[in-house]
Structures are given as C-alpha cells and as structure tokens.
A and B are shown apart, each in its own frame.
Chain A
Amino acid sequence: MDPLRRKTLLAAAAALLLRPFAALAAWNKEAFGAKSAADALKTLGIASPAPSKDIVIEAPQIAENGAVVPIEIQSNIPGTTVLTVVIEKNPFPLNSRFTFREGALPFVKLNVKMGETSAVRVIAQAGARSYTASQEIKVTIGGCGG
C-alpha cells in the first residue's frame, strides 16, 4: 500500500470514529430507554434538582385524551439552557429534552402522550445547577396502547 493511500484511509477511519462526538444533537438512547424517571435523570447526570417556582408549566388539570395532551413550559431562571420533560408514569418516562442557544428563549410548547394519570415533571438546567417543577395531569383515556 502506498503511503498516500494509507494516509487517506487513516483519515477516513478517524473521521468515522469522530462522527458520534461531532453530532451534538445525538439521541440519548440509554436515557430515553430508561423505565423509571429516576433512572432517566441519573443517566442524564441530573442529581436532586431544587424545586423552583420559576418554572412555569401550562397544562390541563384533566386530559380527556391521553394521546394528545398539550403542555407549554417556560423557565424564568436566568441562564437556563436545557429543559427536560419527564412523564413519571409513562412506560418510558423521559419525554423530551430541548437545548437552547444563540438567543432562543427557554420555552417550548408541544403535545405529549400519556398512558395514565401522572405527574409531569420539568427540569431546567442553568449552568451546573438544575431546578424542577411538576404538575399532576389526570388522564381519562390513555394514549400509549391501542
């Protein structure tokens, strides 16, 4: 093998190896596969977040249809860069995780599925600290099975 070809191959192999680290928005398989809220948070490196009234959750008290539960979350904690949504009693509790940069406000509105009545917990990360708030949502018809 000539040296140039060898170099090119090595560079290609290195690029392939480095790819996972370059993709910042990679899906955290372990955390999303966790069967309990505690395991999911542990995998994400979130340890005992402090309760905070500066996390605002706008969601219905009672959701008739668990397949579409609208939630709106916002953190008024300065420096919030990550918001994580955990639905404690869902089969896979970790629901979603959003990273905000370049002037995006720590706000998101989305529709989630809920299998049964559960606490919906939001964790805000600001620097090395994390904060949490939760709201109980009653579900009349579950939205995870058939």
Chain B
Amino acid sequence: MAAGPMKMRATLGSGYTDVRVLMTHPMETGLRKDADGKVVPAHFIQTLTVKVNGKTVVEGEISQAVSRNPVFSFRVKGGAKGDKVEVSWVDTEGETNKTEAAVA
C-alpha cells in the first residue's frame, strides 16, 4: 500500500479548536514479513507539522509504532471560524503530503 490522501476536520470546541486529521500511510515497521517470508522494508511517516494561519503550532516526530493510516487529534487554544489549518508530513522515503481546511 502506498501513501495516499489525507482528510482533516477542524471544529470549534469550548475554548479551543479541535483538529482531527487522518493520513493514509502503510507505516511499515521493517519487522513484518510478507507471504513469501521476506521482510517488508521500513516505510513510515517521521515528522508532521500543524500550522494555524501559517504559524506552526505542533511539531511531531513519530516512529514506525504509530498505527497504519495514522489519525491524530490536536487542540489549539481559541480560534475562530475560517482560520486556516494546514497539516503536512514527511516519511522515510522523503515522500510528503499536506492538507488544508478552514475551521468550521
């Protein structure tokens, strides 16, 4: 399975903005073997960045032990409808993806 699209929802909570993001990624550990007994090489997201209106609010470093198709929730103080949220990631192959959404 290759890396694929992302989905994101940013909603106003009580006093904070709730950011939920889904990334499509195999998150191969490098420890798993395929049907022929061959080790599947490691391939996983290593860093992710959450930005609100262009400012970095969260930086994450993750390992191969984050589940396949990672889902994250983050919370940012305050916020208003229409604020622009952007989430991006970079994996072990240097592949990258990003998605944008307005706070609803």
Residues of A in contact with B (beta carbons under 8 Å apart)? 24-28, 32, 67-69, 72, 87, 90-92, 94-105, 107-114, 143-146
Contact of A109 (CB < 8 Å), options: B60, B67, B73: B73
**Bound Cα distance A20, B52 (Å):** 24
The answer to whether A26 and B67 touch across the interface, beta carbons within 8 angstroms, is no
Task: Using CB atoms, name the residue of chain B closest to A107.
Answer: B75
Contact residues in A for B63 (Cβ distance below 8 Å) = 32, 92, 94-96
The answer to whether A67 and B67 touch across the interface, beta carbons within 8 angstroms, is yes
The answer to whether B29 and A102 touch across the interface, beta carbons within 8 angstroms, is no
The answer to whether A101 and B56 touch across the interface, beta carbons within 8 angstroms, is yes
Number of B residues whose C-beta is below 8 Å from A?
Answer: 33
Interface centre among B31, B56, B62, B68, by most chain A C-beta atoms within 10 angstroms, is B62
B5 at interface, CB cutoff 8 A: no
**Bound Cα distance A113, B61 (Å):** 15
The answer to whether A104 and B32 touch across the interface, beta carbons within 8 angstroms, is no
In angstroms, how far is the closest chain A Cβ from the Cβ of B50? 7
Contact of B57 (CB < 8 Å), options: A67, A97, A101: A101
The answer to whether A108 and B78 touch across the interface, beta carbons within 8 angstroms, is no
Contact residues in B for A107 (Cβ distance below 8 Å) = 73-75
